[in-house]
Chain A
Amino acid sequence: MDLKIRNLRKDYGRFPALNGVNLDIRSGELIALLGPSGSGKTTLLRSIAGLEIPDGGQILFGDEDALQKSVQERNVGFVFQSYALFRHMKVFDNIAFGLRVRDRARRPAEGEIRRKVLELLDLVQLSGLEGRYPAQLSGGQRQRVALARALAIEPQVLLLDEPFGALDAQVRKELRRWLRQIHDETGHTTVFVTHDQEEAMELADRVAVLHKGDLQQVGTPDDVYDLPATPFVYAFIGESTSLPVTISRGQASLDGRPLALDRFDAPDGPARLHIRPQDVTIQSEDGAVLTGAVVGLRRSGPYRRADISVGAGHARIEALLPPDVEIAIGDRVGLAFSRSAVFPEDEKVLRKAA
């Protein structure tokens, strides 16, 4: 089942939660909606499920208009952030719930329900716990029950809201790998919401980055990391520092001095040059893109981080260097960038350019 989201809008009072979002979700893919809190990612997910009613736009399940259907009719598997397990029901009854509430014509026989629930429990590796109450399970186990319950109704699409948000780091990593495995086994079209970029990058086939109700970029983890489409994506995903530059006929210059960089495809005017710390290398001052002074130096895991003051202003660039690099605070060094990007200062100009 592929999903098409067309110009979806939703306002809460005055501020827009979704600002005309367009997104195509391919059948069978695992896609992450990534963004900080307030970015609209959860609103988008809940709109797909039918838990929120958008103010405008379209949601198509295949060719069917999903907005004409109620939550119940949409047949989506939704895994809630806090799991929303029914406390008064045992694990078995929680998973069986979606089958038992079907009308008589579509309800499987009790034996069939039992077979299916046990099969799902096996899938989520919780066999033998069907008689427990949710209160008697660990966080990770509850998460699995919530997933099994959502899968039981054979959903057209599986939606997960911050599925690992409430778990501690160790369990989170384990479940991440396991969710990918389940996805590959069952082949459901899966959309999950997260604010954790590492989780999105490791788990998803594609990542959709949202910011203030706007869809910033959709792409494979490689795309969004290596070729960020907007300054927000550059700043939000991975580490980066930026310098205020001026563009004139594709040539970037800092404080009036042209930088030895390839020409950028950007309009003339003020802009920001974004560089990731690991893309910075130290060389002699001759032929360097930029020169600067080392003002800070510290060890960071297997690397050494350096803060380098450049230009006439007090702009700084962070560099991630090998631990054996021979520099000291106060040294003047030359810098080269293996990769960089520039975006116009004014976001409105940017949106027009994009």
Chain B
Amino acid sequence: MLTNFVPPDLAPAYPEIFLLTMACAILLVDVIMGAASRGLVAALSLMTLFGCAALTALTATGEVNTTFSGMFIDDAFADLLKMLVYGSVAAVLVYSRGYLRDRGLDKAEYYLLVLFATLGMMVMISAGHFLTVYLGLELMSLSIYALVAMDRDSARSTEAAMKYFILGALASGLLLYGMSMMYGATGTLEINGVLQALAMGQANGIVLVFGLVFLVSGLAFKLGAVPFHMWVPDVYHGAPTPMTLFISSAPKLAAFAMIMRLLVFGTIPLAEQWQPMLLIMAVLSIIVGNLAAIAQTNIKRMFAYSAISHMGFMLLAFTTGVFNGHAALALEAYTSAFYYMVAYVLMSLAGFGILLLLSRSGYDVENLEDLKGLNQRSPWYAAVMMMTMFSMAGIPFFVGFFAKFSVLLSAVAANLVWVAVLAVAFSLVGAFYYLRVVKLMYFDAPNDVAPIHASIDMRVLLSLNGIAIAVFGAFPEPLMQLCRQALARSLF
């Protein structure tokens, strides 16, 4: 029997293999060197990410390569998303270090868990099979549950981790159930196989739609869209700020990949069924997220509700791809969603980055009041935060504007003018609480006048992050084209 065994082509999975090897190596370094290895572990983790980026760039062919019998896909879409994931994870590591060191949390476990979560995301992004999706998802989620509970003496963090774990497990269950239904209807778990089976039109419609409902619910859970959003504020609030930063950045990209793989790559013939589901969730997320954010005094909770509304906006783009039974707008619509997600991650990194910058030992910046008078303490970082807030509110010249603009454009193109008007109306509501942050930073006198301490790498990266928000806001075309081409090469 062994003679029939053909070893799989490992080349498309080199980055994942490299990451796993390095993670094991870092584990060994920590075991051998103990507490002395802190700086080394951090440096090695960053180097691992750079190595992965180099490998991804080197192995990128621009074509669709599959391996492990179609379970693993390496295409332009996956390459671009992975690069973005490396970038945001690297930013998370840099932003978090000072905070973790001040609180004695900068153990090797933190870096390892982040790396394993990254591996999970990469697997999700490259998934060609429902089981690969699930495998990646669980690897990522389990690592994040542990990360949230890292500060084990904090009752709030453990509670948040528990809540996240239980709801996350429920969502995984829903997803699995949906996958099994799809299997029942189509006889395959391979994403491409499902697509072909659906195109043949021989699958049982009722079973399919039944399965689809569970798939969409599971996705919505992971994304934090209304009505599956309950965990988001609690986890954002309860987790230590670096973990919140992490949750709000790279995993969102992975969740986007999951939606793309499951709904677009796998079940686009059912778009007429899943689009209305997403539309309802998108509209509800925009409404609930923006309204609830107004009432928050804790800035992490405010960001959580703002994240819900942003996810709603992003989902809106998905509801416009197939129109009148034709996938005419698909590429434009999914490009808009992709760009929106990238813009959101960029803004989220900057927003939480500022919170981490201002926190120091024994003092967490958590409440809106803590941002008071930032302009007097540091005009530059106040400007970065202001740009982030205006960007989130969708005011031009910042990256959030063209992200919202392209989504609105695709909504109007699909004759969803009423949704566009509604989304715009709630952007006005959203503008209020973003403006309030600007007000606190600029119009009020500071409560706290301690000088801001941060390492030079964090200062540089955070400044670049702020500049990127402005530059991509003024010149969105290159990044948009990058997203568009990656999708065009992988989708059709």
B is bound to A: no
